[in-house]
Amino acid sequence: MNLRDRIRVLKEDRDAVILAHNYQRPEIQDIADIVGDSLELAVSAKETGASVIVVCGVDFMAETAKILNPGKTVLLPVKDATCPMAHQLTPDIIREARTAHPDASVVLYVNSTAESKALADIVCTSANAVKVVRSLGTREVLFGPDCNLAAYVQNLVPEKEIIPIPPEGHCYVHDAFTLDDIAEARKRGGTIICHPECRPEIQNGADVVASTGGMVRAAPDAEAWNVLTEREMGYRLKSLFPGKTFYTKEEAICEDMKKITLHALCRSLETMQYEITLDPEIATRARTAIDRMIAIGR
Ligand code: SF4
């Protein structure tokens, strides 16, 4: 039996659902039951009827699935598949910022650890960050861990003061796009769409700024796109819109997302590893912050 068939059989045996982020390898996207951005995965994790949830993504995504499904088994196929940006924000940084800004709300990007989420008032994704911040009653907002997403929100919500925590938190994949990439795309032609984790000058130079879910929704609007985000998003878009052209940057790779392979996924279903476990108190507090975001929607 080949690897793909073995995964399908094991999936049935385990009563498992496979969730994959848009940045996963093509073969993982192809075998997954649901492919999406962080919000789509969080919502589908909450709605699934399966008893086992396998998250093909990085650790904070698996933690989010576990927080929303405390009674289910949640597996991350590779133990050290993590998001370096999420770990740039620690609970101590949040506590210190709260002390310095006692009237501020704390909004954390879903790309944060469960311990950090437990200290947030509300969570957001790049798809709903603006809506989440606008929904708050306070003028000051502590926002972490991505300073580029914070700048994007500040631009669209000028009536509030967005304070990034930590001041320079960023995703190394998106932060590496430069104005040369914009110039190259302009020469090539096509619409330029970038993720809000890119630097402000890249956001200003692009035609559209959107989350990966937003990129899927925007795709019908043009025939050719320059997609400034992790490379595998091009595969996702091409699968959904085969008649259109999507240019991506070869070097824009999230190494941790690529740790999940078919072999790792198969082994995970065979051995039921690596199971996500969380401190119940942290999970309950983090859940309140995530549920608030889900109630607000996209
Ligand atoms: S692409 Fe960036 S933000 Fe997303 S998981 Fe990788 S390092 Fe983290």
Please check whether residue 57 lies inside any domain of the structure: yes
Same domain, residue pair 147 and 8: no
Backbone angles phi, psi at 191, to 5 degrees: -80, 140
CATH number at residue 207: 3.40.50.10800
Instruction: Give the binding-site residues of ligand 1, using a 6 Å CB cut-off.
Output: 23, 58, 83-85, 111, 171, 173, 230, 254, 256-257
Nearest to 64 by CA among 104, 37, 90: 37
Same domain, residue pair 35 and 49: yes
pLDDT tens per residue, range 214-224: 999 999 999 99
Same domain, residue pair 290 and 142: yes
pLDDT tens per residue, range 266-279: 999 999 999 999 99
Q: What is the mean pLDDT of residues 2-25?
A: 97
Q: Which residues contact 180 (CB under 8 A, 6 or more apart)?
A: none
Please give the residue range of the domain that contains residue 186. Answer: 173-247
Structural domain count, the chain: 3
Same domain, residue pair 71 and 104: no
Half-sphere exposure of 218 (CA within 13 A, CB side): 20
Residue 291 Ramachandran class (φ > 0 left, ψ -120 to 50 alpha, else beta)? alpha
Ligand 1 site-directed mutation target among 63, 111, 197, 227, most atoms within 8 Å of CB: 111
d(CA 210, CA 203) in angstroms, rounded, equals 10
Atom index in ligand 1 nearest the CA of residue 57 equals: 5
Atom 2 of ligand 1, nearest CA residue: 171
Atom 6 of ligand 1, nearest CA residue: 254
Same domain, residue pair 115 and 183: no
Please check whether residue 252 lies inside any domain of the structure: no
pLDDT tens per residue, range 60-116: 999 999 999 999 999 999 999 999 999 999 999 999 999 999 999 999 999 999 999
Beta-bridge mates of residue 34: 19
d(CA 279, CA 99) in angstroms, rounded, equals 25
pLDDT tens per residue, range 235-267: 999 999 999 999 999 999 999 999 999 999 999
Same domain, residue pair 60 and 104: no
Atom index in ligand 1 nearest the CA of residue 85 equals: 8
Please check whether residue 59 lies inside any domain of the structure: yes
Please check whether residue 58 lies inside any domain of the structure: yes
Same domain, residue pair 137 and 182: no
Beta-bridge mates of residue 275: 75
Beta-bridge mates of residue 35: 20
pLDDT tens per residue, range 35-47: 998 778 878 877 8
Atom 4 of ligand 1, nearest CA residue: 83
Angle between helices 38-47 and 59-68 (to 10 degrees): 30
Round the average pLDDT of the chain to a whole number and report it.
96
| b (16+ CB within 10 A) / e for 164-180 | bbeeebbbebbbbbeee
Q: Report pLDDT for 46.
A: 78
Q: Report pLDDT for 40.
A: 84
Residue 207 has pLDDT above 90, yes or no: yes
Same domain, residue pair 79 and 91: no
- C-alpha 176 to ligand 1 mean position (Å): 12
Same domain, residue pair 196 and 61: no
Same domain, residue pair 183 and 161: no
Q: Report pLDDT for 43.
A: 80
Same domain, residue pair 177 and 213: yes
Residue 92's CB is within 10 A of a number of other CB atoms, namely 9
- C-alpha 172 to ligand 1 mean position (Å): 7
Residue in the structure block whose two tokens are 């790049």: 126
Say how far residue 167 (Cα) sits from the centre of its chain: 20
Q: Report pLDDT for 298.
A: 62
Are 22 and 35 contacting, i.e. CB atoms less than 8 angstroms apart? yes
Atom 8 of ligand 1, nearest CA residue: 83
Same domain, residue pair 162 and 111: yes
Under the banding of pLDDT at 50, 70 and 90, the label for residue 48 is confident
Q: In degrees to the nearest 10, what's the CA dihedral of 16, 22, 27, 28?
A: -20
More confident residue, 42 or 170: 170
Beta-bridge mates of residue 36: 21
d(CA 142, CA 178) in angstroms, rounded, equals 27
Beta-bridge mates of residue 108: 123, 144
Please check whether residue 25 lies inside any domain of the structure: yes
Please check whether residue 90 lies inside any domain of the structure: yes
